A and B are shown apart, each in its own frame.
Chain A
């Protein structure tokens, strides 16, 4: 999504051609409920509605998959023509059961015995969302600056490795240690992404290809370091020891909840990114390069410098995500510590339309899917992998608003509805 997403206020074209018709004439033909129609039109063509419908469509499609894979449903479908309602009710049971357990695992567990247990799922959602927010903020900045950074995966992993290294080898006092570990993650993540920015600026190498390759190099590099004493320190499994007590991000609500300060840092980072992109000079340059690179160059912006800046900033944010994952949640590093954070972050940034607020909300949604899926798997036997399908389908629909509009018979914002003018 190299070009700016559509204007949030969808373009409602004035119903009158410019230069034709006198004002009085127009008012005379204007229906009384025009404001209502305008409001309806604006609502029906808004991006928020498309986003919402994309999520609904994705849940429906995944529901079909859940029903197909359910054994009861398939059993009932063998005598579908004798008793079709059996199939329908079995399908309903399996889908409703899966989504209900997903909700219980991600938002509010209404079957829990205590209040603390009941609200724990929503904090787990925030825990899962934290690294996604960080990484997706960086990716969103890239998308708005015309850079397609696929490399969050590698940047998260390298940041996580740097935080782990500082966390397990240095010994520092209480606050200093965690700050140093976080800074190390920012530096390494930023440098790792900076490679792609530098190569793009210096040689024109496509950042897409370079970041994909850097992802794999990061995975193999961390796997290698986990076999050496740099990150392993004894033991035979490729897993680092737990980071020191001082290097951990403090918990927000005590021992019962895993939610840590990383979440607040992520919200702070979102605010900072908003300020950077919308209110600062450098952010203006970022957006100018994204909107039209040639115009930006003509206007005197050093485009190559911007490439490096954007990539380094994105890498710093992704590195923070890695640090939050290790210092806040996991405590130990494995080659798979980054999981699919980097790739999920791409979908988060796309769903959030590269805006900080949207990114936070999208990260919370996908974090909820992550947090709720284990319970869904144990309670209703629906594998975690359905989450990937839901995510991918949501983003596919988001990326193609005309498709969503045609599925749900919504008016298109490109072809404005016109009020019939009475010929004078």
Chain B
């Protein structure tokens, strides 16, 4: 690189301070504050001499690892030292105008472990790590599908607030069809159809009738909620055996992979829904960012006029994406009832909105959505597990975390997030 080409250098070859963006100290300062709070909470105000037990293996696992007995204060201190190190590193990186890269993520993981050790300090049962991970996946699956639906719709420029309704519709039709046929896989085929129908309504109203997409989304949620509640209270309650008695979705263990300690059973001994999820995330990630189709979709979502000029059918692309995305959300709805659970009123319980949050935190990309959904699923599952073994933090406060994280994210407190430029605007 020629130095002359760099506009940030003065003719003398020195860095022109005025020409450069001001250094933002926000991230290092936030990390520093969290580290100090963590030091106070997890180390200094923790009862010395307590032991944190962590159960690593289930009795059914092939490879057995004994329960870890960690001294709470000491382990937390070690982790906090690492956290302070990472904070220092982030200060150094900011000072030298380098990208922070994985530092905040690594910091988050370290603090998470410190929190876990603190939360189970002195607990006789210990933290059941395999259970924690498997319920994480269970909780995350509908979120991942919902967030993928959001990604597909919003990348093409249609805001999908109706994820909640699509999950709910998918769960409902899945239960009815699989109960009626006695075959869980036919239910899996029906679930995306229900989601796609909701999506079709969303598309018709927002593309053809140019109604505000947020309005349509909110109203569709109410509509699906009302419809499923109504049908549940009438048709399903009149005939619970025939229509609300879904068979259990069997789990398959993938040989080899499912025997990996700790993470193996959680990731690779699951129902077909989870395996479909892995495939869909991978395929969408590649297709959206590496294929002609993906380029067109993103063009439609960013600058529909330009896309139209080069011959891409904007509204046709949007119709397809909304229906496809909604079908994915509908499929995700089946995860609520995969464990032979009957349908109940409002079985989705606001997960569609968390999926929306996961999509935003994941910055409108499939893998990002997967990571954010896993994070939210982990928060949910940690909350339940801690509730079972006795938690020092109230359930209700932990349950707020995903929503708080999303507000911080959209307010730009943890990095900039930019939605597709043309989202929410009808075309032409």
Mark A residues whose CB is within 8 Å of B: 1-2, 65, 69, 71, 148, 150, 199, 202-206, 208-210, 212-214, 216-217, 220-221, 223-224, 227, 343, 346-347, 350, 383, 385-393, 395-396, 399-400, 402-403
Question: With A393-B223, A402-B209 given, can you name 7 additional A-B contacts, CB distance below 8 Å?
Answer: A65-B230, A69-B234, A205-B412, A208-B214, A209-B406, A216-B350, A399-B216
Would you list which residues of chain B between 407 and 428 have a CB under 8 Å from chain A? 407, 410-413, 419
By beta carbon, the residue of chain A nearest B395 is A224
A288 smallest CB distance to B (angstroms): 20
Q: How far is the CA of A150 from the CA of B205 in the complex (A)?
A: 19
Asked if B41 is at the interface of the complex by the 8 Å CB criterion, the answer is no
Mark B residues whose CB is within 8 Å of A: 159, 161, 201, 205, 209, 211-212, 214-216, 218-220, 222-223, 225-227, 229-235, 238, 345, 350, 353, 356-357, 360, 394, 396-397, 399-400, 403-404, 406-407, 410-413, 419
Q: How far is the CA of A65 from the CA of B231 in the complex (A)?
A: 9
Q: Does A227 contact B396, Cβ atoms closer than 8 Å?
A: yes
Q: How far is the CA of A57 from the CA of B244 in the complex (A)?
A: 31
Most A C-beta atoms less than 10 A away, residue of B233, B350, B411: B411
Q: How far is the CA of A90 from the CA of B81 in the complex (A)?
A: 75
A411 smallest CB distance to B (angstroms): 17
Residues in A with CB closer than 8 Å to B219 are 346-347, 350, 392, 395-396, 399
Residues in A with CB closer than 8 Å to B226 are 385-392
Q: How far is the CA of A206 from the CA of B407 in the complex (A)?
A: 10
Q: Does A383 contact B233, Cβ atoms closer than 8 Å?
A: yes
Residues in B with CB closer than 8 Å to A392 are 219-220, 222-223, 226
Nearest 9 A-B pairs (CB), nearest first? A388-B226, A392-B223, A224-B396, A69-B234, A385-B229, A383-B233, A400-B209, A389-B226, A213-B403
Residues in B with CB closer than 8 Å to A399 are 205, 209, 211-212, 215-216, 219
Q: Does A150 contact B218, Cβ atoms closer than 8 Å?
A: yes
Sample 21 A-B pairs with CB under 8 A, ordered by A number.
A2-B212, A65-B227, A205-B412, A206-B410, A208-B214, A210-B407, A217-B400, A217-B404, A220-B403, A221-B400, A224-B397, A227-B394, A343-B218, A383-B233, A385-B226, A385-B233, A386-B226, A388-B230, A389-B223, A396-B220, A399-B211
Q: Does A386 contact B222, Cβ atoms closer than 8 Å?
A: no
Q: How far is the CA of A395 from the CA of B205 in the complex (A)?
A: 12
Q: How far is the CA of A65 from the CA of B218 in the complex (A)?
A: 21
Q: How far is the CA of A148 from the CA of B211 in the complex (A)?
A: 14
- Take A203-B412, A385-B229, A400-B211 as given contacts and tell me if A216 and B222 are in contact as well, using a CB distance cutoff of 8 Å: no
By beta carbon, the residue of chain B nearest A212 is B353
Q: Does B357 contact A213, Cβ atoms closer than 8 Å?
A: yes
Q: How far is the CA of A208 from the CA of B231 in the complex (A)?
A: 30
Q: How far is the CA of A268 from the CA of B25 in the complex (A)?
A: 50
Partner of B400, one of A220, A385, A390: A220
Residues in B with CB closer than 8 Å to A150 are 214, 218
Residues in A with CB closer than 8 Å to B216 are 396, 399
Q: How far is the CA of A203 from the CA of B201 in the complex (A)?
A: 33
B209 smallest CB distance to A (angstroms): 4
Q: Does A210 contact B410, Cβ atoms closer than 8 Å?
A: yes
Q: Does B406 contact A389, Cβ atoms closer than 8 Å?
A: no
Partner of A217, one of B222, B234, B403: B403
Q: How far is the CA of A347 from the CA of B381 in the complex (A)?
A: 34
Q: Does B400 contact A343, Cβ atoms closer than 8 Å?
A: no
- Take A199-B411, A383-B234 as given contacts and tell me if A216 and B403 are in contact as well, using a CB distance cutoff of 8 Å: yes
B238 smallest CB distance to A (angstroms): 7
Q: How far is the CA of A204 from the CA of B412 in the complex (A)?
A: 9
B349 smallest CB distance to A (angstroms): 11
- Take A69-B235, A343-B222 as given contacts and tell me if A209 and B410 are in contact as well, using a CB distance cutoff of 8 Å: yes
Q: Does B223 contact A388, Cβ atoms closer than 8 Å?
A: yes
Partner of B212, one of A1, A223, A393: A1
Q: How far is the CA of A2 from the CA of B406 in the complex (A)?
A: 24
Q: Does B407 contact A388, Cβ atoms closer than 8 Å?
A: no
Residues in B with CB closer than 8 Å to A402 are 209
Q: How far is the CA of A224 from the CA of B397 in the complex (A)?
A: 7
Q: Does B205 contact A396, Cβ atoms closer than 8 Å?
A: yes
Q: Does B230 contact A69, Cβ atoms closer than 8 Å?
A: yes
Partner of A388, one of B229, B357, B397, B413: B229
Q: How far is the CA of A348 from the CA of B212 in the complex (A)?
A: 16
Partner of A205, one of B209, B230, B410: B410
Residues in B with CB closer than 8 Å to A400 are 205, 209, 211
Q: Does B411 contact A203, Cβ atoms closer than 8 Å?
A: yes
Q: Does A71 contact B396, Cβ atoms closer than 8 Å?
A: no
Residues in B with CB closer than 8 Å to A203 are 410-413
Q: How far is the CA of A409 from the CA of B411 in the complex (A)?
A: 47
Q: Does A220 contact B212, Cβ atoms closer than 8 Å?
A: no
- Take A208-B214, A393-B223, A396-B223 as given contacts and tell me if A220 and B230 are in contact as well, using a CB distance cutoff of 8 Å: no
Residues in B with CB closer than 8 Å to A350 are 215, 219
Q: Does B399 contact A220, Cβ atoms closer than 8 Å?
A: yes
Residues in A with CB closer than 8 Å to B214 are 148, 150, 208
